[in-house]
Structure 1
Amino acid sequence: MKSIILSSLCLILINCSKSGPAQQEAKADLVDMISEDKVSANVPPPSSISEKLLSDEKSTTNSISEHQADTISRKVIKNGEMRIQVSDIKKAQNQVNDILKKNNAYIQKEDFQNTDMDENLNLVIRVPYKSFDILINSFSDGVGSVLSKNISSNDVTEEYTDISIKLANKKIYLEKYLDMLKRASTTKDMLEIQEKIRGLEDEIDVAEGRLRFIDDRVNYSTLNLSLYREKVRSSATSKIGFGSRFIDSFTEGWNSFVSFFLGVISLWPFFLIIPFMVFLWRKWKLRKRNK
C-alpha cells in the first residue's frame, strides 16, 4: 500500500515539474500583452488636424510625385511674329483665310489701320501645335514679301509637373479633411476643418485653371501676323501726274506754315513777360546811375 502511495506521489511531482515552465511562459506572455495595451492606451492623440494628416503624407506624396513625373509629357509653348509686305490687303487677307482653313487655325483678334502713308492689318492667329511650322512656311511662300519673322519656344514642363504634383496632393488632403468633417464631434473642430477645406478648394481651383491655361497654350500656338501695304508716292513709281503732286506739295507746305504759326502764337505769354522784364531792368539800371 505504501509503495502504491509513494509511486502516485512521484507521478504527481513529475507532472507538476513538466507543466511549471509552460505555465510560467503563459503568464509572462499575458503580462507582456497587458503592458503593451497599457502603453498603447497612454499614447496621446495628435494635438492638431495637421498632425493627423501628416501620418500618411510621406508615403502618398512620394508615390504621387513619382507617378506624375513619369506620366507627364513634355510641354512646349510656341509663339511667333511675322510682318509681310503685300500689294493688296484684301487679296492677301483672302489668301491668309484659305491657309488658315487648311491648317485648322482661326483668328483670335483682328485690327485694321488705314493712314495716308500705309495700311496695316494685324491678326492674332491660333493654330494647332503640329501645324505651326506648316503655317509659317505657307505665309512665307505665297502671301507677300516677309519683312520680319520671329519664332520662340518656351518649355514649361517643369512648371506643369510641379503644379500637377501639388494639385494631386491637395486633393488627397481635401478627401482627408472631408472624412474628418464627418467624424467631427465639436463645433470648434467643424469650423476649423471647414476653413481648411475652403482654403484647399480655392488653391485647387487656381491650380486647375493654371494647368488649363498651359494646356491651351501648348496645344494651340499663337502667331501675330501683320500685313503691310505702303502708300508712299514717288516720282519713279507713282502714276499720278505732276499737277496732283504739285498740289500735294503746296498743301503740305501750307500745313507746315500753319503749324509753325500756331506754335508761335502758343508762346504769347513769353512775348508779354520778356518786354516787361526788360523795362524793369532798364529802370533799375537808370536809378542806380542817378545815385
Structure 2
Amino acid sequence: MKKIILPLFCLILFNCNKAENQHEVNADLVEIIEDDKATSASMAMMAPPPPPKEEVQRNSVSEKAVNSAPNISAPQNNSIAKKIIKNGEIEIHVGDLKKAHQQVNEIIKNNNSYIQAERFNNTDIDEKQFFTIRVPHKNFDALINSFSNGVGSVVSKNISSDDVTEEYTDVSIKLDNKKIYLEKYRNMLRSAKTTKDMLEIQENIRELEDEIDVSEGRLRFIDDRVNYSTLELMLYKEKARSSATSQIGFGSRFGDSITEGWNSFIAFFLGIISFWPFLLFIPIVIFVWKKWRKTRVKK
C-alpha cells in the first residue's frame, strides 16, 4: 500500500509544480504581449501618417508635367497692385468763356495734365466748349476741385471708379502661360525632322505670337487708363439775347417778333415760288377745259 501511495504523491506534487510553472509562463507571455502592444502604439503615434491617395496622384501628375514642360524657368506671379480706372464728367456755367478757357489751360498745366481733344459749339442760345482731359491718377481729385472752385458755377458732376485688378491679373497669367508654350514650340521647331511638323509648329507659333500681342496691348491699355484718368469738361455760356429766351423787355421782344414774322413771310413766299412749274400747268388745264366745254355746247 505504501508503495502505491508514495509514487501517487510524487506524481501529484510534480503536476502541481508543472501547473504553477505553466501559469507563470502564461503570465510572462501576457505581459510581453502587452508590452509589445504599448510599444507598437507609441511607434504609431510617433510615425507620420501616410499621404492620402489624392495627394500622391497630384504629385505624380506634377512630376509628369514638369518632365514634359520646356526646360525654362516658369515666371513668378508677383502680387499685382490695385488697378483702378477713374473717370469724370463736369459741366460748368461761366460768365466769360474766353477767360474761363484761359483758367482751364492754367489749371491743366499746374496738374501735369494735357488736353486730348477739344471742341467748340456755337448756337443761338449759348456757346459751349468741350474738353477731354487726361490727368495723372494722383492729381485727379485736385483737378476736379480746381475746376469746381475757380472757374464758374458747377451745374453737374459725375465721378466713377472701375476696379480692373481681376481682369489685369487674369490677362497677365494667361500671357505668362502663352509665353511658356511659345518657348516650348520654338524648341520643338529646332528638333523637327519633317516639313509637315515644321509647318504645323510654325502655325502654332504664329497664333501664339498674335495672342501675346493682343494680351500685351490690353495690359498697356489698362495701364494707360489707370495711370492717367479721363475727365470730360464742358464750359458753356448763355448768350445775352435770344428771340426764344429773351428776357430784356417788351420793346425788344416786339422788335424780335416783327423780325421773325417778316422772315416767316419771306420763307412762305419763296416756298410758293418753288412751285412755279405747277403754276404754269394750271392755266393750260383751264384753257383745255374751256375749249372742250365750248365744243360740247356746239354739238
Alignment TM class, shorter chain as reference: 0.5 to 0.7
- Compute the displacement of 1:255 (Å): 3.1
User: Is residue 224 of structure 1 aligned with residue 229 of structure 2?
Assistant: no
Tell me, yes or no, if the aligned pair for 2:69 and 2:184 is still in contact at 8 Å: no
User: Is residue 146 of structure 1 aligned with residue 154 of structure 2?
Assistant: yes
Correspondence for 1:15: none
Q: Distance in 2 between matches of 1:124 and 1:154?
A: 19
- Of 35, 60, 68 in structure 2, the residue corresponding to residue 55 of structure 1 is 68
User: Is residue 98 of structure 1 aligned with residue 106 of structure 2?
Assistant: yes
Correspondence for 2:290: none
In structure 2, do the counterparts of structure 1 residues 260 and 145 end up closer, same or farther at CA, with 3 Å as the change threshold? farther
Correspondence for 1:111: 119
- Of 195, 199, 214 in structure 2, the residue corresponding to residue 191 of structure 1 is 199
Q: Which structure 1 residue ranges, 5 or more long, are not aligned?
A: 1-50, 269-291
- Compute the displacement of 1:249 (Å): 2.5
1:107 is paired with a residue whose SS is strand
- Of 138, 157, 167 in structure 2, the residue corresponding to residue 159 of structure 1 is 167
Q: Deviations over 1:263-289 (max 9, x none)?
A: 899999xxxxxxxxxxxxxxxxxxxxx
Matches within 5 A, 1:205-244: 205-233=213-241, 238=248, 242=251
Tell me, yes or no, if the aligned pair for 1:53 and 1:173 is still in contact at 8 Å: no
In structure 2, do the counterparts of structure 1 residues 261 and 56 end up closer, same or farther at CA, with 3 Å as the change threshold? farther
2:132 is paired with a residue whose SS is strand
1:82 is paired with a residue whose SS is strand
Q: Deviations over 1:103-162 (max 9, x none)?
A: 000000000111221100000000000000000000000100001100001111111000
Q: Distance in 2 between matches of 1:54 and 1:218?
A: 40
- Of 112, 116, 124 in structure 1, the residue corresponding to residue 132 of structure 2 is 124
- Compute the displacement of 1:253 (Å): 2.7
Tell me, yes or no, if the aligned pair for 1:105 and 1:125 is still in contact at 8 Å: yes
User: Is residue 171 of structure 1 aligned with residue 179 of structure 2?
Assistant: yes
1:185 is paired with a residue whose SS is coil
Correspondence for 2:16: none
Q: Distance in 2 between matches of 1:220 and 1:258?
A: 54
- Compute the displacement of 1:250 (Å): 1.4
Q: Deviations over 1:78-115 (max 9, x none)?
A: 00001100011110010011111110000000001112
In structure 2, do the counterparts of structure 1 residues 227 and 75 end up closer, same or farther at CA, with 3 Å as the change threshold? same
Tell me, yes or no, if the aligned pair for 2:85 and 2:164 is still in contact at 8 Å: yes
TM-score (norm 2): 0.63
Q: Distance in 2 between matches of 1:219 and 1:202?
A: 26
Q: Distance in 2 between matches of 1:54 and 1:131?
A: 51
Q: Distance in 2 between matches of 1:204 and 1:218?
A: 21
- Of 80, 97, 117 in structure 2, the residue corresponding to residue 89 of structure 1 is 97
Cα RMSD, aligned residues only:
3.5
TM-score (norm 1): 0.65
Tell me, yes or no, if the aligned pair for 1:77 and 1:156 is still in contact at 8 Å: yes
Tell me, yes or no, if the aligned pair for 1:53 and 1:176 is still in contact at 8 Å: no
Instruction: Give the number of the structure whose alpha-carbon radius of gyration is greater.
Output: 2
- Compute the displacement of 1:53 (Å): 9.5
Correspondence for 1:252: 260
